Structure 1
Amino acid sequence: MRIKELTAKNAAKDIFTGIIISLVSIPISMGYAQVSGLPVVYGLYGSIFPILVFGLLSTSKHFIFGVDAAPAALVGAFLAAAGIEGGSEEAVRVIPVISLCVGIWLLLMALFRAGRVVAYISTPVMGGFISGISATIIFMQIPKLLGGTSGRGEIDELVKHMIITCRESFNAPSALLGAAALVILLVSKKLMPKLPVSVFVMIGGAVLGYTGIAQEHGVAMLEDVSSGLPAWRLPEFSSAHFTEILTTSLTVAIVIMAETLLASSSYAAKNGYKLDNDREIFVYGLGNIAASMTGCCPVNGSVSRSAMGEQYGGSSQLMSVAASFSMMLIMLFGTGFIKYLPVPVLTAIVISALLGAVEFHLMKRLFRQDRKELWIFFGAFFGVLVFGTVYGVMIGVVWSFISVIINTANPKRSFLGVIDDHEGFHSLERNTYARQLKKAVIYRFSGNLYFANINTFISDIESALTEHTEAVVIDSGAVCNIDITAADRISELNRTLEEKGIKLYFASHIGSLNDRFRQLGLGGMVEERRCRRTIAAALLDAGIKPPYETASAEKNEVRELPVRSFELIEFEWAFGMAADEKMEKYTEQLLSSINDNTSAEEQLSSIISGERWEGMGDMDHEELLVHIQTHLKELSEKLHISEERIEEAIELEKLSLADRIFKRDPEALKVLREHNRRFDDSLEKNDPEMYERMLAHRREALDNLIRSNPEYSGLIDDFYGK
């Protein structure tokens, strides 16, 4: 814990949050102690020294340690399988031995740097895992709202337990009290998130218990516990069940490591700091050894307590230290009030905190942004809910690796061409004006080549060949490695293409890929200069020189393109299919920036000339003007300039751009004219009224421009067909 990072304000908030956590830990710890097979007081013991060790040594600022569901349930299951009665002297003797073994296993895991495994677990797996644990504990707690006891096991067992509770021990006052407390907590969390309503709810419950109203209606109360701190002693070892204790404790240790590391890593990522994973595992081990010395069951990170700590603004390990000392004071001087706390009220507090830990926001984000990742989230979520913590993590990790395989087997790829007045080679898919070369296929593959994707690679190339193809150039800038299967298939492809008189090249890749080629039997391609530093060098080696011949996308016409340095078509390159939508948003931003501090004519000139977007290319500039034309009325109202005057200024700027484009390349002007025609057709179809108004303004503006700028009359006839 870094004391120097604390401020007086943060320290006060952390201490206050720690006190709340200690109060909320009372029902949680007592309940899970019973689940593990211990008397309830040992749950409170587990909320003193283990959490203090964690607070003093952990690198996690937001996570809380203590008696929790998963280890308690595993230990309880062990007792049942071993035939040991819960709460018995044998259970009190055996469980601390399990805790000690868990601590030793965790220390060994830290020694062997097992924390590295977390790096291979994705955000959806983490989110699904935490949400699954939270949902599981909520289902465990629901029967306590209804007048029953906490459940255990997976979702099928929990649902059965709820049904049995409703049938055999349902208590209406208990359900009403718990529901009312839960509604108050959830509403206050929305309306007053920083107010510690849970404390007031707990006080209100204590009043009902102290006055006897809750007991009169059959509402369950927490058990009375004896005061005093736990005595420290070594667990009593015996040969009985020792083999089973070792295997059970290893399972519990793995669960603690996975659950707590995943959850605390999620909190760390959310709050912008990093954990030392191996140190964290080491601290978990020390915490469990401390638990064993006080007779407690294994302890781990608590999602419910951590969610509550986050809700009340806890931001450092001081929160854990304060919670530990608060529990000490409660055990020394305040155990008398525990028996007045209604179970449904405290259960509602726990459920409220757990609902905050369920990552609904991540679920919504994945639904909007990546449905495949959403399935991974649900895989981890339902894995924990249906099969338990260990299997839930395994399912989530398997889903993650399946996703990796799918993504690498189907990487981003595209065919490249050239654009008028642009250097380099550009995606045919993302650039309207890009044209494929007549004699060469240029193919970009954005991923390593291996057995799962080599068929896609070869199929794409073979389908792109034409009777004119003389060379296939692979833009392998994103290819860092290949496997032996891919190497064999590339060798076969090269031989097949050679038989057709086509040369195969790899270009723009890192030098170490050439070493890999030689290692896997493709050294001949390197020696024959089929691996080139640039695409242009590969084309030149194949005898294809600039200016390049291209084939029209609509007809098989061939034309030469000059390749000169000029601005890229930024919007289309950046946004692809969404370019029109983004250009429209940019147009709206320009209009919203109009103000009364500058003259209307100056602002009109600035908008139309493209001054507000530094570095805008002619093609993008022309596209912007087309979009501005659809906002003539709005622009006129904002600037108090007539629509006719604005249209004339726009058309003059468009003609100036068209003239510059025509002088560089007459063919490019034809492409631009066709693009304008398609835009007009679309506008006529979608908004006939606006189209007619714009057309009337355009006719008038062009007539005026022919008179005022006669040098553009020929261009007007050519560009607009007048």
Structure 2
Amino acid sequence: MKFAHTLRNYDKKNLGKDILAGLIIMAVSIPISMGYAQIAGLPAVYGLYGSVFPILIFALFSTSPQFIFGVDAAPAALIGSALAGLNITAGSTEALAAVPMLTFFVALWLLIFSLLKAGKLVNYISAPVMGGFITGICTTIILMQVPKLMGGTAGVGEFLELAEHIAETAKTISVPSVILGVISLVILLLSKKIMPKFPMAVVLMAAGAVLTNVLPLQDWGIQTLAAVEPGLPKWSLPDFSAVPLKEAVTISLSVAVVIMAETLLAENSFGQKNRYQIDDNQEILAFSLGNFAAAFTGCCPINGSVSRTAMGEQYQAKTQLTGLVAGGSMIILLLFCTGFIGYLPIPVLTAIVISALLGATEFDLAARLWNVSRTECFIFLGAFFGVLFLGTINGVLIGIMLSFTEMIIRTAKPATCFLGIQPGHKHFRDLKEGQQIHPISGVIIYRFSSNLFFANISVLQREIEAALKENTRAVILDASGIGSMDITAADRLNLLSESLKEKEIRFYITEHISGLNTQMRKLGLGHLIENGNVRRTIHIALKDIGYKRPYPLEGGVDNAERSASLKRADNRVQEFVWAFGADAETEMEKQIMRQIEHLKETKNVEELLHGSWSHMEELDLDEWLEHLEEHLKEIVRISGKDEHELAQKIEQHRQEIHERIAREHPELAERFKERRHLLDEHLKERHPEVFVLIEKYREERKE
């Protein structure tokens, strides 16, 4: 167990930020916690009680440097709903006895989850699920808060209930309340952009208290917080007879699951964003201890608070000293300053909460996912709308189910390719990588980049069988990407090997980890190992069928051994195209434009000729020069060089590249000439005036 983990080796430069953030969090906790306590069926002051000892204990045992504990929406709503189901009136003596008992069992469940190390479950929840979940929670709480801007009370439930409550509140809207709330929100949002480190929330709270003191805000329909009696909560054991044991156990289980799932998801989301890791099981223990403190002080279950954590992040809180300051200052408030609470205008406080929540939403992640992966974007939206319309726990379950579905679909469509060799080289590469890669005559080399199981084995079988030809002598499976297989895949692999054997085609499995051999023996494929069908490398498999280097290539392509000096070039002849794929031309154009901008400062044309990408190889550099020629006029204007001289220099540089390719890559020389003709035609079509200059220099060079 770790104690005061985030306070060890404390950096004093963070002291001011942590104290300021703690004071702001205490202040914004006043309206939030009082409102949620009432939703849970308790008097408002119990929300402040829940913002003392549970927060202090969580701060001491948490491994998250920034997450804040407190009375929050989801557990409060669940407890309030449970009281209604038990026919217990909110705020009654029965409620004051029932709620701490339910909180105690919530803490007990969380302790059990910690002992069972249930925190590892969060590893199965993807970033889109986390982002959708957090955004859904933030949006839900914002919708809960909107009626308070209009002079009404906070909403409860999911989207439909919240929308209905907003519509009802709008019928009796308080215009002065809306004006004060909207002005406060606009000021907060602008200050975030203009002066993000300035504690505008504190200034607005102070200004609100002053306005309440000097202006008749309540006469204008602007509500302030209710004043509370001074004093700290009293410690006592819950009354374990307040709720039947069976109901207490089942109700508390659902609340504990919500607290664990919601808080762990949110903590990990903040952790990923700010690049630190938490100990999930230690966090669940901290949740448990915080809720035990809440139970013994008569409070409702306590949860991790996204809104208060977002507020701390906005004011650059760095450690759990923030939580200790928030809890400690709440003690001072309860003992000496409860009269101040009655001066705080609710619209101002609501605007502070909404501002913090808007900063915690991750709609930007949804936009990014839409451009990168529509599937993951739909997972984000599934979790988001699940939380918004069906509640926290259902949103989490929907997101998890979508994650597992997406994972199965992804592994069912693995990356596969057929391999060949570039003449004169020994490395096996994807045949689609370039025209200089050729298949080995009579051999199919197939790479499968995923674990083999029931959902994707048919892909392997179908693609290999479709690639068979009359001259096929062997099929070699490059299993370097296969770490495991299930029994369905093993049986189908066995059928494939038997089918190939009937056609007198040798079948090999190669390049995999040794652990896969152990699995194959257990799955009944040991005979393949015994018969020599499982080999360590592709080269050994080829040797087994009588092929030696240099391997014969299809189409009679020359594959003579290269000299040591030629081998140094290896297979990097067109690495830029390999790196950027279909976007290579666009990316090259972008880099040229950046280089031209740089030319304005340096006036060094030589830098332009050699490309900006690290150590461009021959074909890439030739492509670079072709793009460069299209900007010849602009380069002349910026550099002040003679146009004819610059065209001559580009062509001279290209000729050096041609000669180097003919010397080091003779198998590409002819193809290179054909490619040069196509590039010339392209230049002639788009920039005829530049083409005329280049052709003129070529003619002069011949003479």
Normalised TM-score (structure 1)? 0.91
CA distance in 2, matches of 1:101, 1:429: 61
Matches within 5 A, 1:71-470: 71-167=75-171, 169-238=172-241, 240-470=243-473
Paired residue for 2:589, among 562, 580, 584? 584
CA distance in 2, matches of 1:293, 1:232: 5
Answer yes or no: is the 8 Å Cα contact 1:430–1:577 preserved in 2: no
Residue type of the alignment partner of 2:692: A
Residue 417 (structure 1) shift: 2.0
CA distance in 2, matches of 1:39, 1:200: 29
Residue 269 (structure 1) shift: 2.0
Q: Percent identity?
A: 47
Partner of 1:662: 662
Specify every segment of 5 or more residues in structure 2 that has no aligned partner in the other structure, as ranges.
Answer: none
Residue type of the alignment partner of 2:252: S
Higher mean C-alpha deviation, range 337-346 or range 401-410:
337-346
1:320-360 CA deviation, whole Å, 9 max, x = no partner?
Answer: 11111111111111111212222222112111111111112
1:12-57 CA deviation, whole Å, 9 max, x = no partner?
Answer: 1111111111111110010000000000011011111111111222
Higher mean C-alpha deviation, range 96-105 or range 38-47:
96-105
Residue 82 (structure 1) shift: 0.4
1:560 corresponds to 2:558: yes
Residue 607 (structure 1) shift: 4.9
Residue 589 (structure 1) shift: 4.6
Q: Secondary structure at the match of 1:531?
A: coil
Answer yes or no: is the 8 Å Cα contact 1:433–1:671 preserved in 2: no
CA distance in 2, matches of 1:562, 1:581: 36
CA distance in 2, matches of 1:466, 1:441: 9
The alpha-carbon distance between structure 1 residues 470 and 317, as it changes in their structure 2 partners (threshold 3 A), is same
The alpha-carbon distance between structure 1 residues 671 and 406, as it changes in their structure 2 partners (threshold 3 A), is same
Matches within 5 A, 1:555-634: 557-562=555-560, 564=562, 565=567, 566-567=569-570, 568=572, 569-594=574-599, 604=606, 607-608=608-609, 615-634=615-634
1:281-329 CA deviation, whole Å, 9 max, x = no partner?
Answer: 1111111111112111111111111111111111111111111111111
Residue 666 (structure 1) shift: 4.5
Residue 111 (structure 1) shift: 1.5
CA distance in 1, matches of 2:28, 2:609: 64
Residue type of the alignment partner of 2:558: E
RMSD: 2.2
1:386-410 CA deviation, whole Å, 9 max, x = no partner?
Answer: 1111111111111111111111111
Q: Secondary structure at the match of 1:413?
A: strand
CA distance in 2, matches of 1:596, 1:190: 32
The alpha-carbon distance between structure 1 residues 93 and 29, as it changes in their structure 2 partners (threshold 3 A), is same
1:533-580 CA deviation, whole Å, 9 max, x = no partner?
Answer: 2223323333444444445xxxxx542333542332311222222222
1:132-187 CA deviation, whole Å, 9 max, x = no partner?
Answer: 111111111111222221111111111122222223x3222222222222222222
The alpha-carbon distance between structure 1 residues 464 and 85, as it changes in their structure 2 partners (threshold 3 A), is same
Higher mean C-alpha deviation, range 526-535 or range 30-39:
526-535
Residue 4 (structure 1) shift: 4.8
1:695 corresponds to 2:700: no
CA distance in 1, matches of 2:428, 2:561: 10
Q: Secondary structure at the match of 1:445?
A: strand
Answer yes or no: is the 8 Å Cα contact 1:431–1:576 preserved in 2: no
Residue type of the alignment partner of 2:199: P
The alpha-carbon distance between structure 1 residues 444 and 613, as it changes in their structure 2 partners (threshold 3 A), is same
Normalised TM-score (structure 2)? 0.93
Residue type of the alignment partner of 2:317: G
Answer yes or no: is the 8 Å Cα contact 1:525–1:531 preserved in 2: yes
CA distance in 1, matches of 2:220, 2:212: 11
Q: Secondary structure at the match of 2:342?
A: helix
Residue 693 (structure 1) shift: 2.2
Higher mean C-alpha deviation, range 395-404 or range 487-496:
487-496
Higher mean C-alpha deviation, range 443-452 or range 237-246:
237-246
The alpha-carbon distance between structure 1 residues 608 and 181, as it changes in their structure 2 partners (threshold 3 A), is closer
Residue 195 (structure 1) shift: 1.5
Residue 684 (structure 1) shift: 4.4
Answer yes or no: is the 8 Å Cα contact 1:431–1:572 preserved in 2: no
The alpha-carbon distance between structure 1 residues 239 and 306, as it changes in their structure 2 partners (threshold 3 A), is closer
CA distance in 2, matches of 1:414, 1:683: 34
CA distance in 2, matches of 1:7, 1:532: 57
The alpha-carbon distance between structure 1 residues 683 and 609, as it changes in their structure 2 partners (threshold 3 A), is closer
Residue 452 (structure 1) shift: 0.4
Residue type of the alignment partner of 1:623: E
Residue 212 (structure 1) shift: 4.8
The alpha-carbon distance between structure 1 residues 589 and 191, as it changes in their structure 2 partners (threshold 3 A), is closer
Answer yes or no: is the 8 Å Cα contact 1:421–1:664 preserved in 2: no
Answer yes or no: is the 8 Å Cα contact 1:652–1:705 preserved in 2: no
Partner of 1:719: none
1:500 corresponds to 2:498: no
Partner of 1:525: 528
Higher mean C-alpha deviation, range 207-216 or range 332-341:
207-216
The alpha-carbon distance between structure 1 residues 683 and 700, as it changes in their structure 2 partners (threshold 3 A), is closer
Partner of 1:481: 484
Higher mean C-alpha deviation, range 96-105 or range 85-94:
96-105
CA distance in 1, matches of 2:426, 2:589: 27
CA distance in 1, matches of 2:12, 2:543: 70
